[in-house]
Amino acid sequence: MVVKTLDDLVAEGVSGRTVLVRSDLNVPLDGARITDDGRIRASVPTIRTLLDAGARVVVTAHLGRPKPGADNSEYSLAPVAGRLGELLGTEVTLADHGDEATAAAGALADGGVVLLENIRFDPRETSKDAAERRTLAAELAALAGPTGAFVSDGFGVVHRRQASVYDVAQLLPAYTGGLVRSEVDVLRRLTEEPERSYVVVLGGSKVSDKLTVIEALLPKVDSLLVGGGMCFTFLAARGLGVGDSLLESDQIGASRGLLETGKIVLPTDVVVADDFSAEANTRTVPVEEIPDGWKGLDIGPESVAAFADVVAGAQTIFWNGPMGVFELAPFAEGTRGVAQAIVDATGKGAFSVVGGGDSAAAVRALGLPEDGFSHISTGGGASLEYLEGKELPGIAVLENGQRSA
């Protein structure tokens, strides 16, 4: 079945119709201050297109992982509603679920927009019970009314079988938003005969988090560069001592097997510290000389140069995960250096994808040019699962479970 798109929906006509849009507005907050609005900005084009076409838009989204029954005020989407309104140039009403949402959706004028409060405040959103999710999805669908439609535009959640992502798409005529469509198109370029050489750069904390994606990627890539906390488990698999660095002892055997492919490139030097702190004492040491009691928190300059050499010869690059604790200044240079190498390769014609999550946050936090990469994904987990070859429920339901308008 051919999945219908946002363009198809607009062509059918949306003036006077209510469109439920699932966006990914899960942004980092410092109190009520948004520290990275990348996902909000990415959501704007689809919403703007619908508003300009005269739709009445109801946006549903989540923020963080609120706990049922707890005080979840810190997870309110109120700051997001304000920022979304600024970017759209129109007022965005924030409505609680239930009667308030029903009233707000019913009062919408053509070209108006309502943002529903954090959908995860309702435990049915993430329930393993399909009937519970279906009940919540029916309540969301009712907001759109008999002529309504659903647009899936939250790529960061399409790997979740959740009420506002999966179940509602079976209750309303469903369409792929511009963001989700562009994300999938980009990832297909990485999986369907990518230009060689194909280099993947992986960082982050744990091998266990990325073991399956490494196993899936190794047969397809030319080189896989490993930094971040996960590199120390690989170094331990080579028989090296790693001091107090992050180590998953139960993954050493699996890591040793992956190293036998000969495609994994590890750091040769690291920045170590005697404490996990920006004020800690630091040294740059060869990986064979990590002192006892010290922990590796970044890759070193020799490793950055070696990684950059590999990246420079690439035509296709996928990067997911920082090279170190980039949030702390003494341990940011590894991530900055490798990211700059990817920007340089992109400028010479390589196709580069930043795989969302902390990598996308690092690009912005370190002041790197966002347009220096071919694509910055909004969904780290979703992009990794796509590259693993897993079925993404939020995509599959559009392909297989779509209602006819």
- Residue 12 tokens read as 């059918």
Any binding-site annotation on 359?
yes
Active-site residue, selected from the candidate residues 48, 206, 283, 390 = 206
The string of DSSP codes covering 244-265 is TS---GGGHHHHHHHHTTS-EE
Any binding-site annotation on 159?
no
For residues 136 and 141, give the distance between their C-alpha atoms in angstroms, rounded to a whole number.
9
Any binding-site annotation on 392?
no
Q: Which residues of 30-52 are buried (b: 16+ CB within 10 A; e: fewer)?
A: eeeebebbbbbebbbebbbbbbe
Any binding-site annotation on 250?
no
Active-site residue, selected from the candidate residues 4, 17, 39, 133 = 39
Any binding-site annotation on 24?
yes
Q: Give Cβ neighbours of residue 8 (< 8 Å, ≥ 6 apart).
A: 175
The string of DSSP codes covering 115-168 is EES-GGGSGGGG-S-HHHHHHHHHHHHHHH-TT-EEEE--GGGTTS--IIIIIG
3-state secondary structure of 346: helix
Q: Is 106 a catalytic residue?
A: no
Any binding-site annotation on 183?
no
Any binding-site annotation on 63?
yes
Any binding-site annotation on 358?
yes
For residues 342 and 362, give the distance between their C-alpha atoms in angstroms, rounded to a whole number.
13
For residues 144 and 132, give the distance between their C-alpha atoms in angstroms, rounded to a whole number.
20
Which residues lie across from 298 on neighbouring strands?
271
For residues 368 and 376, give the distance between their C-alpha atoms in angstroms, rounded to a whole number.
12
Any binding-site annotation on 25?
yes
Which residues lie across from 113 on neighbouring strands?
57
For residues 28 and 46, give the distance between their C-alpha atoms in angstroms, rounded to a whole number.
22
Any binding-site annotation on 357?
yes
What end-to-end distance do the CA atoms of the chain give, in Å?
A: 14
Any binding-site annotation on 67?
no
Which residues lie across from 106 on neighbouring strands?
none
3-state secondary structure of 65: coil
For residues 359 and 220, give the distance between their C-alpha atoms in angstroms, rounded to a whole number.
22
Any binding-site annotation on 160?
yes
Do 373 and 342 contact (CB within 8 A), yes or no? yes
* Closest to 83 measured CA to CA, from 147, 124, 29: 29
Any binding-site annotation on 298?
no
Q: Is 381 a catalytic residue?
A: yes
Active-site residue, selected from the candidate residues 357, 372, 379, 394 = 357
Rounded to the nearest 10°, the torsion over CA 214, 219, 221, 222 is: 120
Any binding-site annotation on 238?
no
Q: List residues forming the annotated binding site for ATP.
A: 210, 296, 327, 356-359
Residue ranges for the binding site? 24-26, 39, 62-65, 120, 160, 210, 296, 327, 356-359
**What positions carry a catalytic annotation?**
39, 206, 357, 381
Which residues make up each annotated binding site for substrate? 24-26, 39, 62-65, 120, 160
